[in-house]
Amino acid sequence: MAVIEIKNLSKHFDKVKAVNGVDLAIPEGELLVILGPSGCGKTTLMRMIAGLEKPTSGVISIGGLDVTELPPRARPIAMVFQSYALYPHMTVFNNIAFPLKAHGKFSKTDIKEKVKWAASILDIEKLLERKPRQLSGGERQRVALGRALVKEPKVLLLDEPLSNLDAKLRASARDSLQRFQRRLGITTIFVTHDQIEALGMGDRIVVMSQGKVMQVGTPQEVYHNSANTFVASFLGSPGMNFIQRDNYLFGFRPEQFVPQEIADRKDDLQLFFFAVTRVEYLGAEQQIYGVVEGSSDEKKVIASLSSETNVRLETGSTYTFAVPKQQLRFFDHETGLRIEPQPL
């Protein structure tokens, strides 16, 4: 059964439709990632689930209870903000104990026990007497998580919880956060603009743009079977290449676009003449920029190749590149929506 059900939810700020008719159902224990560029409404959507923002219209129910009109404290949720929002004047212990004290029904010994429990699963027992300013970024994140978990919410909301960590720490934080979520089995909504976090951690991904849900699906679904050109170009770095033909677009991922001589011959290949304009070396891989000859709009196309490849590509020359035919994706020229394969 779905823990959270969202029906036709909208939030308009004056004329801006920050969230525009969103429907979502999130089953128990799922880690759902809401992914989108900044300004797509993902944070507003989460703030509405938390109760910090009042919807213009629509219904939110959590655990079968309609919470649309309820204030945050009456909802069985907890939230970790991007800044972690630790109370700077309180020790770690008091930060974690704060939701319990605010609840008002726990005895002192209960509070102590629960804080210790939260601290032990996050491995921050030694930090309990410290103040937030004495903690590293990763420690702050764990304290914020501890404070969110201590009241045992039905739903955990995470607003870009990794974006304040440095790049090296982020990889291990992704891993520990995901394992932690699996272990507790707590329904989690994770907002991010980082597709690596989304693809790497999410059970399902909600891709949003301009207040609307573009696609909901597993990481594999949204990446390999993108529902429209927005999802296809937003996911992957670089995103999908598009070439216009008559009244439709077809696209292929940069890593599927390789010189003919190293393409897998078992595949049914579609060949292109590719005029290379620029080769960018990026360490493990190289990105080849160029134009596909015969395409009507001469748009830039990018190929991602391993740097180890033996094929030498020179700027200014034209090569034969290939894409397996089953990797081609077709989209409507007007709506950008995915359509059936077309003859090329």
Partner 1 sequence: MDETVTVKKKWTDGFRFWSDREDLLGPLFLFPAVVYIIALVGIPFIIAMAYSVTDVTAGNTSLDFVGLQNFQAILKTDQFTQSLRNTIMFTVVSQIIIIVLANILALILSTDFRGKWFARFLIMLPWATPIALGTIGWLWLLDSKFSPIDWVLRYLHLLGESGALLGEQKNLYYLGRLELAKASIIVIYVWRMLPLSAVILMAGLTSIPQDLLDQADVDGAGFWRTFFQIKLPLILPIMSVALLFSLIFTVGDMAVVYVLTRGGPVYYTQILPTWAYLKGIESGALAEGSATALFLFPVLLAVAIMVLRFSRRTEVT
CB-wise, 81 or 273, nearer to partner 1? 81
Distance CA 78, CA 159 (A): 11
Tell which residue, 271, 252, 253, has the closest CA to residue 263: 271
Task: Report the C-alpha gap between 217 and 229 in whole angstroms.
Answer: 16
Between 101 and 333, name the residue whose CB sits nearer to partner 1.
101
Size of the site for partner 1 (CB under 8 A): 26
Residue matched to tokens 């003449």 = 273
- For the window 209-248, what string marks contact with partner 1 as x by the rule CB under 8 A? ----------------------------------------
Indicate whether 130 belongs to the interface with partner 1 (CB under 8 A): no
Residue 133 binds to partner 1 (criterion: CB under 8 A):
yes
333 binds partner 1 (CB under 8 A): no
The binder of partner 1 chosen from 54, 89, 182, 278 (CB under 8 A): 89
Can you give the length of the chain in residues?
344
For the beta carbon of residue 86, count every other beta carbon within 10 angstroms.
Answer: 21
DSSP 28: T
In the bound complex, what is the minimum distance in angstroms from residue 317's beta carbon to partner 1?
39
Of 140 and 204, which CB lies nearer to partner 1 in the complex structure? Answer: 140
Nearest to partner 1 of 70, 196 (CB atom): 70
Q: Is 73 in the site for partner 1 (CB under 8 A)?
A: yes
Q: Which of 48, 77, 145, 222 forms a contact with partner 1 (CB under 8 A)?
A: 77
- By the 8 A CB rule, do 59 and 6 touch? yes
> Least distance in Å: CB of 153 to partner 1?
9
Q: What are the angstrom distances between the C-alpha of 140 and each of 165, 179, 207, 216, 235?
A: 10, 18, 28, 31, 30
Q: How far is the CB of 124 from partner 1 (least distance, A)?
A: 18
- Which segment (73-81, 178-186, 206-214, 327-335) binds partner 1 by CB under 8 A? 73-81
Candidate ranges 98-106, 109-117, 120-128, 182-190; the one touching partner 1 (CB under 8 A): 98-106
* C-alpha to C-alpha distance for 316 and 314, rounded to whole angstroms: 6
| Residue at 293: amino acid letter | E
Residue with tokens 């990763």: 138
Among 42, 142, 151, 204, binds partner 1 (CB under 8 A): 151
Tell me the backbone φ, ψ of residue 220, rounded to 5 degrees: -65, -45
Task: Confirm if 199 and 8 have CB atoms less than 8 A apart.
Answer: no
Residues 6+ apart with CB under 8 A from 252: 240, 241, 323, 327, 328, 329
Q: Is residue 147 involved in binding partner 1 (CB under 8 A)?
A: yes
| Dist. CA 104–CA 107, nearest whole Å | 8
Q: Name the one range near partner 1 by CB under 8 A: 74-82, 188-196, 216-224, 303-311.
A: 74-82
Which residue, 77 or 216, is less far from partner 1 as judged by CB? 77
Name the amino acid, one letter, at 8.
Answer: N
Beta carbons within 8 Å of 59's beta carbon, 6+ residues apart: 5, 6, 7, 8, 9, 66, 68
Residue 88 binds to partner 1 (criterion: CB under 8 A): yes
- 83 contacts partner 1 (rule: CB under 8 A): yes
The strand ranges marked E within 253-333 are 258-259, 269-282, 285-292, 300-306, 318-324, 329-332
27, 71, 185, 341: residue in contact with partner 1 (rule CB under 8 A): 71
Q: How far is the CB of 133 from partner 1 (least distance, A)?
A: 5
79 binds partner 1 (CB under 8 A): yes
Q: How many CA atoms lie within 13 A of 253 on its CB side?
A: 17
81 is a contact residue toward partner 1 (CB under 8 A): yes
List of residues contacting partner 1 (CB under 8 A)? 47, 50-52, 71-73, 77-79, 81-83, 85, 87-89, 98-99, 101-103, 131, 133, 147, 151
